[in-house]
Every structure is written in C-alpha cells, then in structure tokens.
Amino acid sequence: MFYQLFKKPRNLKNDVLSGLTVALALVPEAVAFAFIAGVSPQVGLWAAFMVGLVTAVIGGRPGMISGATGALAVVMVGLMAKASADFGPEIAVQYLFATVVLMGIIQILAGVFKLGKFIRMVPHPVMLGFVNGLAIVIFLAQVGQFKVPTFGINEDVSTWLATSELLLMGGLIALTMAIIYFLPKLTKAIPSTLAAILIVTGLAISLNHFADIKTPNVQDVLVNMTAKKAEMTKFEELVPSEIKALQKAGITLNDDQKSKLKEIELAVRNENYYENVKDDAINNNAQEYKATIAGLPVIGIPKVPFNLETLLFILPFAFILAAIGLIESLLTLTLIDEITQTRGRSNKECVGQGSSTLLSGFLCSMGGCAMIGQSMINISSGGRGRTSGIAAALFLLGFILFASSWIEIIPIAALIGVMFIVVIGTFEWASLRLWKKIPMSDFLTIFTVAAVTVAFDLAIAVLVGVILSALVFAWQHAKRMSFSTKMEGNTKVYEPNGPLFFAAAANFADNFTPNEDPQDVIIDFINCKVVDHSAIEVIDSIAQRYKKTGKNLRIRHLSEDCRNLLKSAGLNIEVNVMEDPEYRVADDKLA
C-alpha cells in the first residue's frame, strides 16, 4: 500500500488536475444516489470518498474511479423499505450499514478465491450492449434537470422549464461541450473538462450578478432534494396506520382511502415545503440543508442485533449488491483496458472494492463500486495513474469539509454538458453499423443487453446477455458435431469431431448403429472433448446399447480430465500418454 502511495506517478500534474475534475462531478451524483437510496447525502458523500480512496490505492485498475453508484442505490431502496417495515425507520439505516459490511466481505472472498477471472466469460457483444445501455441511462438521468421541480406525493406530474430557461440552459450546455471538445486542440495544459466547468460557472455567476439571469446550480438541487424529503417525511407521519398496513400487505385501497391520501397530500403541499426550506437555507443562512454536505461521519460498528435473524435478513441483499458491484466494476475495468491498451487485475480489483466497501460500512456510508462515467472523465482528462483516483478522493474530502459553498455555485448545465460528453464517448457508435457485418445473433445480443440495462439494471442485463450468448454458442457448436468412420481390420472406429456437451448429445447418439456394427468397436476422441454430465450420460447409454448386443466397445485418445469424468461409467478406456490430447486453460495469474 505504501509503495503505491509514494510511487512517483508518470504525470503528476495531469493526475491531480484530472482528479479535481472528477471530484467536482462526484459531489452532485453522490448526493443524488444517497437520496435515491433513501439515506442522508452524507452517507453517499462519505461512501464516494472511502470507496474512491481505497480502490485507487489497492485496486487492480489504475485510473478507474469508484464511488457511490445508482446501480447499488436502486437495490438499497428495497433494503431500506423492508428494514423500515420490519424493524422501524429509525434503525433501518443501521441494517444498510451492516449489509454493506457483509457485501464487502463477499467481494473480498471473490478476490481471494480468484473469481474475478470469470469476467472473461462476458462476450464482446454483451460489453457493447452494456456500454450502450449505460450511455442511454446516463443521458436519461439528465432529462429531469430540464423540468420544473414538483413535490406531489402520489402523482408524477412535471412540466418543462420555461422557453427562456431552456434556451439558457441549452446554451450553457453547448458551451461546456464545445470547450471540452475544442480546447485540447489548442492546449492540453489544463484538462478541458475542468476548464469548461470553471468558465461556465464564471459566466453563470456574471449573468446572475449583472443581468439578474438565474440558472439552476447544485445548491438548487440540494434544496429541492431536502424539500422533497421533508415533504415525504411529513406525508408518512400523517398517513393513518391502517392504510399503511394495507399498503404493506399489497391490498388495493378503496375510493375513500385513496381520497384520504389525496387530502393528506394536498395538505402537505399547501405547507409549501420548497419555499420554506429555500428561504430558511438561503435567506436566513440556516444549516438544515448545508449539513447534508458538510460534517464528519459517525464511525463505528452498525447498531444491529448480532444474531441469525439479522444475518438471514441482510444476506440476500448483500449477495445482490456484491454481485452488481463486482460486475459493474469488472466490466468498467475491461472497458478501460481496451481504451488505454493496458491490463488491469480483476482479482485484485475484487479485493480492493471489497475492502473499500467493508470500511464504508464501518464509516456509516453506503459503499459503492466503479463509476464508468467518472472513469471516462478521468481517462479523457489525462488521469491514468493511481494518483488521479487518490487526488479525486482527497479533493472530495476537502469539498465535504471546507468548500461545500463553492460546490453549490456550479451550474447544473455545466455538469450536464460534462455528462453529455461522457455519453458521446461511452456509446459505441460503430456498433450501429455492425448489423450487416456480424452474425444477427450478436447484434440482437447487443440490442437486448442495452435495452435490459435501461429497463432494469446492469446485473440483470449482463446475466441475460451471457445466457443469450451461451445458448447461441451452444446451438451453433452443436450443429458442428461431425462424424467419420473407418475400419481397422475387423474393428470399426468412430471418429467424432467437435465438443460433446448437452446440446450435441442427441446428434452424437444418433450416429451409432450397434446392431449393424462388428464385434469390436472403438470411439476415437482425438478430435472431440467430453465437456459435461450430459456427455457422460450419452456415452454411457451408447455403451449400454453395445453391451446388450454382446459387442465390445472401447474408447481411446481421451484427455486426462475427460478420463476422470468417465471413471464412474465403468467403460473400457485405452490410455496412451504419448498420444492422448491435453487441454489447458488460462490460469489465475492473468487475473
């Protein structure tokens, strides 16, 4: 660890400036993901710091940025809701922290047992679908910033900003994107993303000061989030317990109960939480919403009962979160490998992600994983070493403790412009031209994974993609099983060609004719590999067919692992060390 900290980086200036750029983009996202998960923004900010720092120091991919992510926050919503219902809202967050600790342990074990190598099983079409879907998700996440904040409880009604506000925001976004695109053609002395944020922030401040033209900034987003949370809390307090019980049980409410909820909603909305929070926070300089950013975390063991009931409650969530975190991290690692033409260490990254998540749980934060958007910002800004991730985490720590007021003045348009550049850089535009150049099954896999990523989440999308690719692979290779026969004296020799597995088993069995064959028969596997249990069963069934006819069946030229699979079948297997094939697979050193 100390070697990584004090090792001289290749380009310290680029790493530090890129880290600063990434830190600026981390703040609003960490706060947003915390609200999605239903926890305090501090929980997201400290997660971004801890996960980013630890993975930068001991992770397996220099230049990759980690922090609080939306993929994990979506799962945490269900965890918080179930914990609140079962144990009470006051202690629910403690179950989240306990789950994060267990999640980290699972990820560390995945690295220790070298499971990171299995990321190589993800086919390239799945990778393309993953990045395309993620680019679409990042784009759609920005659309809400073009709408007027609404504070309805049971209705999702929102309107677009006024035309003048849309034009102003659109202009600032276009300016941000233009600076990021064109500045590197003039100079690379400063990361273009950082320059764009500074220039657009200065322009927004000038417009507000000299022309009284206001554009939404990070402060406005925080106020909106705080007001929404206050409104939701008040609404939950006023809902009658009998209605809560019906909702928890999934029972449809009658018209009177729905009307009652509507009355409560209108009463809460009439209290005008947005204006109250805004006035209190800005005009009176109160600290209600500022405390959502600044301040030190509470360090300690999660305050939950240490018993079997707690373990059974948090274990399913911990496994899901660990799987999603590792999949997103390792796919991002693979993507950065391709961009930078270098190689990360997947097992080491599992340990790094797990260690950071484990510490996050004791830091009372929500954990996290690799962030493809921020990683792309870092790489495009010149941050390639571990110093960039360390710098991003330390700058974020400084923002949390000392400079929250500076972060708040950054216009949202600047951050949207940065993310739009990320979308353009992340989306594999070349994949749109592949439909005539690659098999249709691969193109459908790309489209399916992208669609599932947008509709559901990354883990489900990758799982669907891998299964779809595996089924296509199995079907195609099953059709490639071929046979040839020859006579060696009075012995008939069958020579199958291709892998023997579940999809090819039926075709394999159809080629044998025990009633017509001579007394002695050999199956020569020199060009065929026995893969799975279905292959063993079909070979055993063929042996039984020959046994019933009183004929002798021998098997030769099996690799050692295939012989081991067939030991229990009791077949007559010839062993020829000089001629039998030997298959090898990539070992764990590559991971």
Could you read off the pLDDT of 4-61 as tens digits, one per residue? 444 555 678 889 988 988 888 787 777 767 766 777 777 888 999 999 999 999 998 9
Domain coordinates of the chain in residue numbers?
12-148+217-477, 479-573
Per the CB < 8 A criterion, the answer to whether 9 and 382 are in contact is: no
CA–CA distances in Å: residue 557 to residues 481, 517, 522, 554, 582:
17, 21, 10, 10, 10
Q: Residue 484: which of 521, 524, 515 has the closest Cα?
A: 524
Closest CA to 529 of 503, 552, 563: 563
DSSP 318-352: HHHHHHHHHHHHHHHHHHHHHHHT----HHHHHHH
Instruction: Judge if pTM exceeds 0.85.
Output: no
Sole residue written with tokens 């046994």: 547
441 to 124, 322, 501: CA distances (angstroms): 12, 30, 21
Pairing mode of beta strands 66-67, 369-370: antiparallel
For 209, the 3-state DSSP assignment is helix
Enumerate the β-bridge partners of residue 486: 493
Give the tokens for residue 568. 């229990």
Burial 413-441 (b: 16+ CB within 10 A, else e): bbbbbbbbbbbebbbbeebeeeeeebeee
Which of 364, 392, 360, 393 lies closest to 378, judged by CA?
392
Cα distance between residue 66 and residue 26, in whole Å:
10
Q: How far apart are CA 382 and CA 188, in angstroms?
A: 9
H or E element, residue 485 = strand 482-488
Tally of residues, the chain: 591
Residue 93 has φ and ψ, to the nearest 5°, of -65, -30
> How many whole angstroms separate alpha carbon 539 and alpha carbon 555?
10
Q: Can you tell me the distance from the alpha carbon of 141 to that of 28, in angstroms, rounded to the nearest whole number? A: 12
Report DSSP state, residue 43.
Answer: H
Predicted confidence (pLDDT) per residue in 362-383, tens digit: 988 899 999 887 898 888 888 8
Give the count of beta carbons closer than 10 Å to the beta carbon of residue 124. 14
* Cα–Cα distance measured from residue 92 to residue 240, given in angstroms and rounded to the nearest whole number: 21
CATH class (in words) of the domain with range 479-573: alpha beta
Give the integer Cα–Cα distance in Å for 104 and 98: 10
**pLDDT per residue as tens, the chain (591 positions):** 434 444 555 678 889 988 988 888 787 777 767 766 777 777 888 999 999 999 999 998 999 999 988 778 877 878 888 888 788 777 888 999 999 999 999 999 999 998 887 776 778 888 888 888 878 887 887 887 888 776 655 545 567 888 899 999 999 999 999 998 999 888 877 778 888 988 999 999 999 989 888 888 877 877 776 677 677 777 878 888 888 888 777 788 888 888 888 888 888 777 766 666 656 554 444 444 444 455 567 788 898 999 999 999 999 899 888 988 888 888 889 888 888 888 889 899 999 999 999 999 998 889 999 988 789 888 888 888 899 999 999 999 988 888 777 777 889 898 888 888 878 887 888 888 877 788 888 888 999 999 988 887 777 888 898 889 888 888 887 777 888 999 988 999 999 998 888 888 888 898 999 999 999 999 888 888 888 888 888 888 888 888 889 888 888 887 776 666 665 555 555 555 445 555 544 445 545
- Percent of the chain that is helix, strand, coil (3-state, to 5): 65, 5, 25
